[in-house]
Structure 1
C-alpha cells in the first residue's frame, strides 16, 4: 500500500473517530474530562500522522532496509493482545505483560523487561487510579489493587 493511500485512509478514519466521539457522554460525571477526550486525542494524533504521510516528500523502498521486521511484528502482536486482554487481566497486569515482548524487541533481558513492565504497570495504575482519579480495570488482581 502506498504511503499516501495509507495516510489518506488514516485521515478518513480520524475524521470518523472524531465525528463518532461527539456523542459520547457519561450518564453521570465521574471524571473531569469525560469519555470523549480519549477518542478525540487519538483522532488528532492519527489525523496528523496521516497528513504527514500524505504531504511528505516521497521516499523509496531503500528507506525500509534494515528495519527490524521481526521485532516490529512482535510489538504489533503484543499491542493487539494487550487490547484483547486489557479488561480481563486489568491495567497493571496487561501493561506488565505488554512490556515484556516490547522490552525484548528493544534488546532488554527477560528480567529487565519484566521488572520494567511491573514498575510501569503498578506505577501507572497508582498514578491514574489514585492521583488522577481515573478508574482503571484491575482484572484478576482486583483483590490486591482494589477496584472493579
Structure 2
C-alpha cells in the first residue's frame, strides 16, 4: 500500500515538474539541445518508473533490510555531495570522486574503482566538452589549463 501511495505522489510530482521544466528557456544558445531536454528526460524516466510501481508494485511490499536502506541513504548523500561540489571541484574531480565512492559503496574493489572513476571523469568531460560542445566547469583544475 505504501509503495503505491509513494508512486502516485511521485508521479504527480514528476508531472508538475515537467510542466515547470517545459518553460525553461535560455537567453542565449549555450548548448545544442537546450536547457529543458535533460530535466524532461529524467522526469519522463522517473514518471515511467512511478507508473510501473503504481500498476505492479511486486515484491517491494516486503520489509526493507537495514543494510539496503543504509546503502540507499549513503547513495543519496553521495549524489547530494556531487551536486554541491560540482562547481567548486569541477566536473572531472567531482565525477571521479562520486564514481569512486559509489563503486566502493556497491562492493567494488579499491583499485578498479579508482581507475574507472578517473577514466569516467576524464572521458565524460571529453565527450561533453569536445564532442557535444557543452561547457562544463573545471573547478580547481582550471589553474592547470591554458586559456
- TM-score bracket, normalised by the shorter chain, equals 0.7 to 0.9
Q: Residue 78 of structure 2 contacts residue 101 of structure 2 at CA under 8 Å; is this kept in 1?
A: yes
Gaps of 5+ in 1: none
CA distance in 1, matches of 2:110, 2:24: 40
**Compared with structure 1, are the counterparts of its residues 61 and 103 closer, same or farther at alpha carbon in structure 2 (3 Å cutoff)?**
same
Partner of 1:101, secondary structure, is helix
Report matched runs for 1:85-104 at 5 Å.
Answer: 85-104=85-104
- Residues 1:27 and 2:36 are matched in the alignment: no
- Residues 1:138 and 2:132 are matched in the alignment: no
CA distance in 2, matches of 1:70, 1:42: 24
Deviation at 1:130, TM superposition (A): 0.7
Gaps of 5+ in 2: none
Partner of 1:68, secondary structure, is helix
Q: Residue 79 of structure 1 contacts residue 98 of structure 1 at CA under 8 Å; is this kept in 2?
A: yes
**Compared with structure 1, are the counterparts of its residues 146 and 106 closer, same or farther at alpha carbon in structure 2 (3 Å cutoff)?**
farther
- Residues 1:49 and 2:49 are matched in the alignment: yes
RCO comparison, higher one (Cα < 8 Å, 6+): 2
Q: Name the count of aligned residue pairs.
A: 146
TM-score of the superposed pair, with normalisation by structure 1: 0.87
Partner of 1:27, secondary structure, is coil
Deviation at 1:102, TM superposition (A): 1.1
TM-score of the superposed pair, with normalisation by structure 2: 0.87
Partner of 1:136, secondary structure, is coil
Once the two structures are overlaid, the 10-residue window that deviates more, 70-79 or 92-101, is 70-79
Deviation at 1:70, TM superposition (A): 3.5
1:68 corresponding residue in structure 2: 68
Q: Residue 7 of structure 1 contacts residue 51 of structure 1 at CA under 8 Å; is this kept in 2?
A: yes
**Compared with structure 1, are the counterparts of its residues 10 and 24 closer, same or farther at alpha carbon in structure 2 (3 Å cutoff)?**
same
